[in-house]
Amino acid sequence: GALLVDPETPEEMQTCCLSRPTKSSKQHLRQVIAEYEALDRELPCIRKFPTPPAAQPLCLSMETLPEADFTHLDVLEALEAELPGAMESGRVSSIRFENMNV
C-alpha cells in the first residue's frame, strides 16, 4: 500500500507514528511494578530499601556461601586487585559487613 504523508506534519511526528505505539507512562509504571512484584514473589530474599539508591552507589552487596568466612583484609585485598589504590584515592572509604542471613 501507499504511505500517505501530510506535508504539514513535522518529520519527527511522522517517524514516531511509523514506529510501534508507545505505552503511556502510567501503563509502563504498572508493568514495571507488576514485574517487580512477580520477582519479589519468586525471590522473597530481595532486600528492599526505604529510598532508592544514589545514582553512583557507594555500596556493594554480595552473596556468599554460609561456610565462607571473610575478613576485612580479605575484602580489601580483593578490592585492591580490581581497583588499585581505591582506599587511598577515596573511591572506597570503608568496608562494613552486614549479615543478612536470608
Residue listed under C-alpha cell 555500596: 59
What confidence score (pLDDT) does residue 54 get? 67
What confidence score (pLDDT) does residue 12 get? 47
What confidence score (pLDDT) does residue 20 get? 46
Averaged over successive runs of 10 residues, the pLDDT of the chain (102 residues) comes to 49 46 74 80 67 66 76 84 86 75 56
What confidence score (pLDDT) does residue 19 get? 45
What confidence score (pLDDT) does residue 27 get? 85
